Amino acid sequence: MAGQATHWRAGVVGLAVLGLTLTACGGTKVGDSSSQAGSSGSSSGSGKCGTFNLAVNPWVGYEANAAVIAYVAQHELGCTVNKKDLKEEIAWQGFGTGEVDAVVENWGHDDLKKKYMTDQKTAVDAGPTGNEGLIGWYVPPWLAKAHPDITDYKSLNKYAANFKTSESGGKGQLLDGDPSYVTNDEALVKNLKLDFKVVYAGSETALIQAFRKAEKDKEWVIGYFYEPQWFLSEVPLVKVNLPTYTEGCDADAAKVACDYPVYKLDKVVSAKFAKSGSPAYDLVKNFTWANDDQNVVAKYIAEDKMSPDAAAKKWVDANPDKVKAWLK
């Protein structure tokens, strides 16, 4: 997930959690024929849509965006939507080949914007999603209540031994998510001189399960997490205060010693798609909603076990005015 740099139990749960994966999103590569094809719905819009290739990155908030956009494209515009489960940079590579038309939740990625927008000119900006993204380190509520000073990074070394696991090499474990997510955490641990080691859970699902279990069983877990995220309504994780973010403090990835910025999440499309005249491009460009909207749909998918299509239909049926604004 997001940003400038490329979203357990102590001693026991590490290996088990590392084996978990996010069911909805895999490691598909551009050109893989196993993408999910959505069936076209009856068109009530104008203009021929044809095929719309939509990347789906591996976290449920993105999946919520993609589900709603795909549903509206199919049922209002008559598009045939191909959803392609791709990690972030792999999706951007597809802009140049025509295999990906849109990425619908981008977290910063100045590096990818330079490469694919400025240098290769295969991608263009399609405007904000309306969501604000926040990345940071979080602890379960019970831990913040029992040890209030733990939300100050300067206190973390005092508690490092409590976070040790079989994966962390004698240091405290800082649990990160999917290795493809953007994170400054290894640099932060080093530059803030913290006695911790970053360990990758492997997926968003694994992170959520670790935090859920930590709250239930009063276990010591500190890890990477982010907002918007439906899970925070179930377990209100508490953010750890890192040194305040200032403009440019993360310019050198190796020297980062500050918190993450607030990300204005946006959409990116292929340059060819932007010029295609497809009504799906106008839908992507006009699509915008709030963190609460995304969290509702994400919860339908992740917690209520609804299919993305059913989750999207439920939200779309309840929010006709918002959808109508996207179709103008």
Percentage with pLDDT > 70 across the chain: 86
Residues of the chain with CATH 3.40.190.10: 36-131+267-326
Q: Which position has the token pair 């907002």?
A: 227
Residues of the chain with CATH 3.40.190.100: 14-20+133-262
pLDDT, one tens digit per residue, over 263-320 is: 999 999 999 999 999 999 999 999 999 999 999 999 999 999 999 999 999 999 999 9
Distance CA 54, CA 141 (A): 37
**Which residues lie across from 174 on neighbouring strands?**
198
pLDDT, one tens digit per residue, over 18-30 is: 333 333 333 344 4
Q: Which residues of 283-322 are buried (b: 16+ CB within 10 A; e: fewer)?
A: bbbebebebebbbbbbbbbbeeebebbebbbbbbeeeeeb
Please, is 26 exposed, middle or buried when counting C-beta atoms within 10 Å of its C-beta (0-12, 13-18, 19+)?
middle
Distances (CA, A) of 225 to 128, 174, 326: 21, 11, 30
Please provide the distance, in angstroms rounded to a whole number, between the alpha carbons at the two ends of the chain. 31
CATH topology of domain 14-20+133-262: D-Maltodextrin-Binding Protein; domain 2 (3.40.190)
Residue 73 above 60 pLDDT?
Answer: yes
Asked whether the whole model's pTM tops 0.85, one would answer no
Residue 112 above 70 pLDDT?
Answer: yes
Name the CATH architecture for the domain at 36-131+267-326.
Answer: 3-Layer(aba) Sandwich (3.40)
